[in-house]
Amino acid sequence: MDEIVIIGGGFAGLSSAVYLSKSNHKVILLESSPKLGGRAYSFPVEKHDDFVDNGQHILMGCYPYTLNYLREIGSLDKLYFQKSLELNLVENGGEQLKLGGNSTLYPFNLMYALFSFPRFDLKDKMALTRFFAKLPFTPEAKLKDLSIEEWLNKTRQTGNARKYFWDLLIVGAFNTTAERASALVFREILIEMFLRGNKASTLIIPQTGLSDLYCEPSEKFLREKGNVVKLNERVTSFEIENGRIAKIITNKNMYSGFNYVISAVPVANYLQIRKNGLDENLLEKFEVSPILSIHLWLNNYEFNEKFYGFTGSFFHWLFVHEKHITLVKSNATELIKLPKEIIRSKVTEELTKYFPDFTGKNVKDILIIKEKRATFVSSLQFERARNSVKAPYKNLVFAGDWTNTKLPSTIESAVKSGKTAADKIEKLIKSE
């Protein structure tokens, strides 16, 4: 039985651990913090007998790696699945619009959604139709050096198409602006989302906290198979022999006798390990983008839908939970710098604009969470850098949403990287 040490207990580390454990390899997972989850976890709010996520996440039907992983750990029943794409958009003034609907007939479901949307005129519909008709035949080489903004301009996308379709899609997938994000990666997302069947474009929302969704079931899965999960244990150094990691030193222990190592932590964390084998200047090429999440407990106010998208607002999403609501601001570079008192005032003001019956008196309590390093920015520079990174040691494999997954920094990217790392180690073992 081969022994593998996995550094990091987020989506990437846990998924690689689960798949290796399923193949009967012994896993030792080391997590530096007192909890599993990395940048995606939940925690209790005792005074409201509730829990919140550090950042609300949407999954999609085009997330095969995530859905397969959650199936392995028995968590699929904790998700809400749409039957067909339906997005509830709210405008300033309170008017609500639906993008999508009841059509489940692929490939006409997307056309139905776009052509039935009340804010699109003929020019908008034709621009979108031309784009999607050409999408499967757009070569990767043509987009390699383009941003999404440049691609949308070249395809003459209209202002309405941008406002009601592209902008929300881009910020939700990339957590950055169209000017900074890679067109090549966007092409991959669009093909997976809209050209892989009806279910691919549907939205999937966790019905429970992220820790309950994947952290706790993964840990249970691993421990039941005799593996080791250690919290509060930070890797500080490697000892190298003959081009391989021979020993791992942590703040508590020293490990040897293992066969392979998976590093499933962000680049910045990996570079803090002594004798890591990478150029420290690499970090300059990996930009990060923040997400601001505002959780509100309300008095005497109910929302009719499970979630909403905002048009023309500095907020992007509103999610309705059993006991509270969550507002999300992606790419929150400026807003996240503001004091919490000002953020709270802006939240109340914005909710009043978009839900006219809402007032400040409806707010019973508020919790503001600032994730300053929520995701990596899938810029052209980032794509070139992630493609160039090679593991410096023979028995080391990298995993994480920053690795070469051809996806932006999402849950799906992290889980895919974990499965890819596990598969790579399987091949290395078979080749020995």
- Give the CA diameter of the chain: 69
- The count of other CB atoms within 10 Å of the CB of residue 370 is 19
User: Residue 108: which pLDDT band, with cuts at 50, 70 and 90?
Assistant: low
What are the residues whose beta carbons fall under 8 Å from the beta carbon of 327, sequence distance 6 or more? 293, 294, 296, 315, 317, 318, 347, 351
* pLDDT of residue 1 exceeding 80: no
pLDDT digits (tens, 9 = 90+) for 211-261: 999 999 999 999 999 999 999 999 999 999 999 999 999 999 999 999 999
Cα dihedral across residues 370, 374, 376, 379: positive or negative:
negative
The answer to whether 197 and 23 have CB atoms below 8 angstroms apart is: no
Query: For 50-67, what is the mean pLDDT?
Result: 91
The answer to whether 28 and 228 have CB atoms below 8 angstroms apart is: yes
pLDDT digits (tens, 9 = 90+) for 172-217: 999 999 999 999 999 999 999 988 877 888 899 999 999 999 999 9
Q: Class of 288-376 per CATH?
A: alpha beta
Q: CATH code for 3-43+209-286+378-431?
A: 3.50.50.60
Domain segments of the chain as ranges: 3-43+209-286+378-431, 101-201, 288-376
CA separation (Å) from 318 to 90, 303, 312? 10, 10, 14
Query: For 308-328, what is the mean pLDDT?
Result: 94
pLDDT of residue 72: 98
pTM: 0.94
Listing DSSP states for 214-275 in one string gives IIHHHHHHHHHTT-EEESS--EEEEEEETTEEEEEEESS-EEES-SEEEE-S-HHHHHTSBT
